[in-house]
Amino acid sequence: MQDLKGIDLHLLACLDALVSEGSVTRAAERMQLSQPAMSQTLNRLRDLFRDPLLVRTGRGMVATPRALELRGVVRDTLRTFTQALSDGTEFDAGTTHARLTLAVTDYTVSILMPHLLPLLRREAPDLQLVLVTPDHNRVREWLENGDIDLMVGYLRELSEGLRAVELYRDQMCCLASAQHPSIHGTMDLDAFIASGHVCRGNASTSQFAVEEAIDQALERIGRQRRVMLRTQSAFGMAQAVAHSDLLGCMANIGAPVYASILGLQVLRLPFEVPPLPVSMVWHERTHRQPAAKWFRDAIRRCNAWTQVTSAGQQA
């Protein structure tokens, strides 16, 4: 008990920030402290835990094994205490300074942000929102560890401890340049197969749900695409399509956004692909957390998901 006299919750929060950010400057910004104050806090933590915690390398500041071990314990402690304080209290979005992390692709950002941001600025002007690109191989781990609070997207299966609410189901369509040399408004299966394609994701590790759905549908009819280029972003894929004779596949709801910016054709796919369910996914630990509950409700209320277009189906 004597050792606990030098520890408070703010100090533990600073430890979490230092290890997560790997930078005294960024940790200070996150905790709204000056850099000298955070440096003093780091020295205090080093004395308390008898470990350097962060060491300087050629790649910047790197957490020690002891620091990584402590971060897990610290996060559990902060989470438990925050939950105890917040349960049964009314959440005031207008005054909150909560910091929430949302895992979402750039495609979904293009759909969600035009609707969600005005709502946030109006109802929760001081809420801090951090967007990260989801890695579907690690999203469960991120949710369990508290690295993210919510994911919006497609999850192949729901593991224990996770909750989900389906937001909408979206059909697939195809994008082609408006100046494509041979495709003008319509496209048959032979033209689709004969063309080169741009795909998102890495074929061996992290394939995007849209790409998996397309490839599985083609496999069912004994056909296969010629993938000429891979990229990690929807905008990168759309740009490549706009400046070449390559094709790219995308969900209907967001396709007109990219088409209007880059001058693209939105085409009906010449084969059947089941619609993909897009959901909000979160962990049981944040199910009753007031800020997270409010944010999930805000996503439901922002009307982004009611704007599903049939442009791809009508093309």
Structure-token pair, residue 279: 């959901």
pLDDT digits (tens, 9 = 90+) for 144-203: 888 899 999 887 777 778 899 988 888 899 999 999 999 999 999 999 999 999 998 875
The strand pair at 162-170 and 276-283 is best described as: antiparallel
pLDDT reading at 139 higher than 80: yes
Residues 6+ positions from 179 with CB-CB distance below 8 Å? 263
How many CB atoms within 10 Å of residue 191? 16
Q: What angle do CA 18, 78, 104 make, to 5 degrees?
A: 70
pLDDT attached to residue 269: 95
pLDDT digits (tens, 9 = 90+) for 47-100: 888 999 999 887 788 989 998 888 888 887 777 676 666 555 567 899 888 889
The pTM is what? 0.67
Distance CA 174, CA 186 (A): 10
pLDDT attached to residue 11: 86
DSSP string, the chain: -GGGGG--HHHHHHHHHHHHHS-HHHHHHHHT--HHHHHHHHHHHHHHHTS--EEEETTEEEE-HHHHHHHHHHHHHHHHHHHHHHTTS---TTT---EEEEE--HHHHHHHHHHHHHHHHHH-TT-EEEEE---TTTHHHHHHHTS-SEEEE--S---TTEEEEEEEEE-EEEEEETT-SS-SS---HHHHHHSEEEEEB-TTS-B-HHHHHHHHHHHHTT---EEEEEES-HHHHHHHHHTSS-EEEEETTTHHHHHHHHTEEEE--SS--PPEEEEEEEEGGGSS-HHHHHHHHHHHHT-GGG----HHHH-
Residues 6+ positions from 74 with CB-CB distance below 8 Å? 12, 13, 15, 16
Structure-token pair, residue 282: 């979160």
Cβ-contact 76, 145 below 8 angstroms = no
Rounded to 10 deg, the angle between the 24-31 and 9-21 helix axes is: 130
* Long-range CB pairs of 157-164, under 8 A, 24+ apart, other chains included: 158/281, 161/283, 161/284, 161/285, 162/281, 162/282, 162/283, 162/284, 163/281, 163/282, 163/283, 163/284, 163/287, 164/279, 164/280, 164/281, 164/282
Query: Confidence class of residue 137 from pLDDT cuts 50, 70 and 90?
Result: confident
pLDDT reading at 4 higher than 60: no
